Amino acid sequence: MRNEGSDAEYIARLQPRHRKALFASLSDQEQRAILHHWPFWARPEQMPPDGNWSVWLIMAGRGFGKTRAGAEWVRSIAESDGSARFALVGANYAETRTVMVEGESGLLSIAPPKQRPVWEPSLKRLSWASGAQAHLYSAAEPEGLRGPQHSHSWCDEIAKWMNNSGQAEAAWDNLKMGLRLGFRPQIVATTTPRPVALVRELVGAEDVVISRGRTHDNDLHLPVAFLTAMAADYGGTRLGRQELDGELIEDLEGALWTRAMIEGCRVGAVRVERSRDTGASPKRSLDCARDERGEGLVRIVIGVDPPASAHGDACGIVVAGLGRDGEAYVLADASVEKARPEIWARAVARAADLWGADRVIAEANQGGAMVKSVLHAAKISLPVKLVHAARGKVARAEPVAALYENGRVHHVGAFPQLEDELCGLLIGGGYAGPGRSPDRADALVWALTELMLGKERVPRVR
């Protein structure tokens, strides 16, 4: 194995005639064997580390090959050790199945046809010819890991595990307490880094071996257009350092929002009921839309922070709802990058149709009445309310951050780009997040200000 990359990458960089001669020297059987011989394709950081480790944390950028490394580790043990019993743990059952088992780099895809494990979806079980077995679990249901025993575990995208009520840490603890089979129980955890409690705990632990890497490390297996676009859009930004370079970005000192604050406010998905009218656009049923707490949404608004030009900042478009419990729920980030006015206006109209928005709250400092005209050109019936910013973005955000601190705002799912911007807003003014301006965060502030901080209007006789 070469330090600069895999054997396959070394051969790919040879002159064509040398590469052709090399493969011509191999028999048909040897050429077929290479297709599924992981040490040939793997880079050094994708191979299990030496030594007597208990946890191997692969913390790297998107597209690095984390999933493939985790699946190949499972496969190598399962095919050689019939007594192995694996726990496959994802953020939820759907991701465990579609990514870890059935995905392009999942356990079914990477195995040679004659050595492919038997997949029993109804039992959430994989069985190899050697006798080894793997069972699927959801980190969102930590009690499912209480009781079963395993010798090995592969945990995928641990930074995405829901932890608003301590589920992620409970799932990890229950998993470790069940690793009591075999001579040397081991866990492989694969993830894109985010400074959540579980990841930070593992990074600081003594018995954890960490492999790090960047998206660009896997450049021979990724489209050039993708790599070029990622470098152009996110190179050098806070989001790019985290999602592409695999850096663990900690909280900024003096930030209005912290990662822990946002993780603590995260809840599950909102149920959406669509219109049964034939030919009608999807509609939001406000009476039937419910968050995981069972509270109905009584009002939905869309905050819009229009860009000054089509070549500058993003157009922030954030959907938020008010629950019957008096608390706010951030539902979607529909923001668009570097879009012309007609493009971002159509994006607002689509979001309004999808979520059945009661009102669109648009900042009018950039463009004034033109903003309303552009939105009405996209859809004449859009209920637009123009607002004018008399204070800076950070000053407007401070009372909204206080709502988060008081537990009155919840994120329905994860919004990485929006959340990175929120954590880049600094107390007393200033912005140190991704991009030149916190456009998504500003759109959220307008939406939540309308829902939670506006004056109550009580009907009265004039």
Give the pLDDT score at 294: 37
pLDDT at 205 over 70: yes
Residues 338 and 312: their CA atoms lie apart, in Å, by 6
Q: Please write the tens of the pLDDT for every residue from 382-399.
A: 888 888 877 888 888 999
Q: Please write the tens of the pLDDT for every residue from 48-78.
A: 998 889 999 999 999 999 999 999 999 999 9
pTM (two decimals) = 0.60
Give the pLDDT score at 290: 38
Give the pLDDT score at 287: 37
Average pLDDT over residues 434-441: 87
State how beta strands 125-127 and 133-138 pair: antiparallel
pLDDT at 289 over 50: no
Cα atoms in the Cβ-side hemisphere of radius 13 Å centred on 430: 9
330: Cβ contacts below 8 Å, ≥ 6 apart? 318, 319, 320, 409, 410, 411, 412, 415, 418, 444, 447, 448
Average pLDDT over residues 439-457: 87
Indicate the range of 11-25, 243-257, 363-377 predicted with least confidence: 11-25
pLDDT at 284 over 90: no
Q: What is the mean pLDDT of the chain?
A: 84
pLDDT bracket for residue 236 (50, 70, 90): low
Residues 254 and 456: their CA atoms lie apart, in Å, by 32
Q: Please write the tens of the pLDDT for every residue from 263-276.
A: 888 887 544 443 33
pLDDT at 3 over 60: no
DSSP of 404-425: HHTT-EEEES--HHHHHHHTTB
Q: Domains in the chain, start-ordered, CATH in brackets?
A: 42-243 (3.40.50.300), 259-453 (3.30.420.240)
Residue 240, number of CB atoms within 10 A of its CB = 18
Q: 76, exposed or middle or buried, with CB in 10 Å at 0-12, 13-18, 19+?
A: middle
pLDDT bracket for residue 300 (50, 70, 90): very high
317: Cβ contacts below 8 Å, ≥ 6 apart? 302, 303, 304, 333, 334, 335, 336, 344, 347, 348, 351, 443
| Whole-Å CA distances, 245 to 46, 79, 194, 213 | 16, 33, 12, 7
| 327 or 376, higher pLDDT | 327
Give the pLDDT score at 366: 66
pLDDT at 279 over 80: no
Q: Please write the tens of the pLDDT for every residue from 123-155.
A: 999 999 999 999 999 999 999 999 899 999 999
| Ordered strands of the 316-323 beta sheet | 266-267, 409-412, 328-333, 316-323, 297-305, 359-363, 384-387
pLDDT bracket for residue 104 (50, 70, 90): very high
pLDDT at 233 over 90: no
Closest CA to 47 of 86, 7, 98: 7
pLDDT at 96 over 70: yes
pLDDT at 248 over 70: yes
Give the pLDDT score at 235: 74
Give the pLDDT score at 435: 78
Average pLDDT over residues 427-446: 87
The helix/strand/coil state of 341 is helix
Residues 105 and 103: their CA atoms lie apart, in Å, by 5
Average pLDDT over residues 358-387: 80
pLDDT bracket for residue 12 (50, 70, 90): low
